[in-house]
Chains A and B, each alone.
Chain A
Amino acid sequence: MTTNRKQDIILAGVGGQGILSIAFVIDSAALKEGYNIKQAEVHGMAQRGGAVQSHLRLSKDRIYSDLIPRGEADLILSVEPLEALRYLDFLRPGGKLITSSAPFINIPDYPDRETLIEQVRRVPGSVVIDSEALAKEAGTSKAQNTVMLGAAAKDLVVSQDGLREFIRVLFAPRGEKILESNLKAFELGRRAAL
């Protein structure tokens, strides 16, 4: 947890990878901890397997733009390595990139995996997490988004207990097993990024 008054986060991924679930958890925790929030999302056409992103803005002060200005993002959190590179110009100097290494290949010209990861590692301060392996370890490959949320936990302005609370709110209705897997996925992601 960091202690700034504001934090601008780009969440990136492919339609269907669950970035809005990550956004919900961070938002809800932030609201509870006294932040104002704005969260711009992508709905409609792009959700059919296209590139999607969410601009998540948290601040103790008033937030004007729904979109994060290029050069203001403190963090890019990506559930997919190719998508991680798409929004680099939003990152402020010294901003952080945290991404999954698990490719989502649904286009014919998807780059070579090694080259891609090397490109990600060239970004100063980037963190690469094998969310696929960790999600499987947690019990469901569907929890990769929660693994990535865990990996970003120490860099967020909201508390980790706040995040855990809203992981419970989000996943409890889907049954005990799914909830437990996601809580475990969060811990595994968190530890992997330490």
Chain B
Amino acid sequence: MTKEILLGDEAVALGAVHAGLTAGYSYPGTPASEIMEYLIRAARTAGTFVAAWSVNEKTAFEEALGVSFAGRRALVSMKHVGLNVAADPFMSAALTGVGGGFVVVVADDPSMHSSQNEQDSRFYAQFAQIPCFEPADHQEAYDMTREAFDLSERMNIPVMLRLVTRLSHSRAGVETGEARPQNGLKYGDRQCWTLLPMNARAQFKRVLELQPELVKISEGSRFNTLELNAADRSLGVIASGIAHNYVLENVREGAKKPSVLKVATYPIPEALVRKLVAHVDTVLVAEEGFPLIERSLKGLFGIPGKTLIGKLSGHIPPAGELSPESVRAALGMKPLERQAPSEFKPAGRPPQLCLGCPHADTFKALNKALEGFTKSNVFSDIGCYTLGYFPPYNAINTCVCMGASVGMAKGAAEAGVFPAVAVIGDSTFGHSGITALLSAAASHTNMIAIVLDNCTVAMTGGQPTFASGDRLLKIIEGVGVPKDHIRVITPLPKFHEQNVRIMKEEIEHSGLSVIVAARECLEETRKKNKRE
């Protein structure tokens, strides 16, 4: 055994490699990006498996599913909202079952450090009725990934591994084991994999019948631990994932130790929960994300004769991530003594566009071109350019999900908004903007889509983009945007006047226009220069 310092994300990636991974796919998204970053680096050295970025999470999921169909082990990783994009194949993959072990790694971002919403992916696992592992630390992230592949193959079902930001982006030592060889090629059974109603009904029945067995497996998992305090039956804590760390952090030196059940696997290990609940008067449920365990304990009627506390009771804040302090308060412990805070309130320092960023020049030109119009007509998207929301730009009015800008601009134009402008990055356009632009082209919508082509996925650290440069222009033309109204500008201060003029011309044009603002991200240029 060797010990390595790894990010939580990297521990998962290495666990997958050692589990005999044949291929992994992903789309960049914080906090999941480092899984694929690691796999790509590892593949470059080892050269025995495939590790690749995909155009979006749905595609990544389907590519991985194809690997599993072929009898070989596959991983797909994404951030929580990525699973919304991949939800279609995700729900049906539970029915097809798997060939080779198939692990879906989803990293949730409670507190929305780098996201547009909070979600708890354990609900997706419950929804699809597939097993889910929730590691509490790096060692578990590694070990559970390996075990998830085995379980997936043994039970013939995809398995989810659920991460959260604090584990994904924390480093610690991990002891690793021997690598297992890859599976050989073995084709899937067409009756299982062709979800025609007649086949799908049989497959769904199989998933339903599997559930009692999955609960039993969860109950027997070595990752779930139950420690009952025979001397004090007042409080019991059910803590899942990293919430367990916060509980132990607080009670490690405390005189009064509650009974603690650590839940690390799903479906909920029911027998263990019953044992804990029977042992204590008050049950505190601490879980990162939404109250999944707490809600199932509460049901409609609560637990007769017991007090149940957690997020639903308000003992733990329902929004945002847990902290050692919020769990401490729920445990009924006094806050630690700490340095008196200064009365001085430091000014906030939000993230912002880099000095000289091409997006800044595009926004300056756009603001100028839109002078005289209402300012509420710029629909934006997910990327560095979302920072155009802040002063001095104040350039955008929406950011909802990947690709929403183009569809929303079309809808707004059809509702009477003029001029309707969509602002979308090249990678986001490739991810989810193309279909919306096809729709706008087919409808001859009077709107402008500005594609900010900076040749990279910048916000997540500079991953490759698929819809950039010449290919981007061909796609735009290919979906049916009139060639005369595909304009390319270079967002640089020296072209400001010219760029404003082009934007104004396209605003005046009655119909669909696309302006491509093409200039490479400064970070990428810097990285390239460093390499040379």
Interface residues of A (CB under 8 A from B): 14-15, 27-28, 31, 36-51, 63-72, 82-83, 85-86, 88-93, 95, 106-111, 119, 122-124
Q: Is B270 an interface residue (CB 8 A)?
A: no
B335 to chain A minimum Cβ distance, whole angstroms, is: 7
Interface string of B233-268 (1 = CB under 8 A from A): 000000000100110111010000000000000000
State the 9 A-B residue pairs at the shortest beta-carbon distance, nearest first: A71-B336, A44-B30, A44-B114, A71-B338, A50-B351, A69-B324, A91-B339, A66-B170, A48-B351
B4 to chain A minimum Cβ distance, whole angstroms, is: 10
Contact A48 B249 (CB under 8 A): no
Q: Is the interface of B mostly helix, strand, loop or mixed?
A: loop
A119's nearest neighbour on chain B, judged by CB, is B344
Interface string of B111-124 (1 = CB under 8 A from A): 00110000000000
Contact A67 B166 (CB under 8 A): yes
Contact B173 A71 (CB under 8 A): no
- Separation of A159 and B320 alpha carbons in the complex (Å): 38
- Separation of A27 and B5 alpha carbons in the complex (Å): 9
- Chain B residues near A95: list those with CB within 8 A: 339
Q: Is B341 an interface residue (CB 8 A)?
A: yes
B111 to chain A minimum Cβ distance, whole angstroms, is: 11
Contact A71 B387 (CB under 8 A): no
Known: A40-B170, A43-B31, A43-B114. Is A49-B351 also a contact (CB below 8 A)?
A: yes
Interface residues of B (CB under 8 A from A): 3, 5, 7, 30-31, 33-34, 113-114, 166-167, 169-173, 242, 245-246, 248-250, 252, 323-325, 328, 335-339, 341-342, 344, 346-354, 384, 387, 391, 459-461
Contact B5 A28 (CB under 8 A): yes
A80's nearest neighbour on chain B, judged by CB, is B349
- Chain A residues near B252: list those with CB within 8 A: 64
A95's nearest neighbour on chain B, judged by CB, is B339
- Separation of A28 and B171 alpha carbons in the complex (Å): 11
- Separation of A42 and B34 alpha carbons in the complex (Å): 12
- The contact of B339 among A45, A106, A110, A123, by CB within 8 Å, is A123
Known: A82-B349, A107-B347. Is A44-B336 also a contact (CB below 8 A)?
A: no
B114's nearest neighbour on chain A, judged by CB, is A44
Known: A40-B166, A64-B246, A71-B337. Is A50-B324 also a contact (CB below 8 A)?
A: no
Contact B339 A50 (CB under 8 A): no
- Chain A residues near B353: list those with CB within 8 A: 48-49
- Separation of A191 and B348 alpha carbons in the complex (Å): 33
Contact A69 B325 (CB under 8 A): yes
- Chain A residues near B354: list those with CB within 8 A: 48-49
- The contact of B338 among A82, A89, A119, by CB within 8 Å, is A89
A42 to chain B minimum Cβ distance, whole angstroms, is: 7
Known: A31-B5, A63-B172. Is A93-B249 also a contact (CB below 8 A)?
A: no
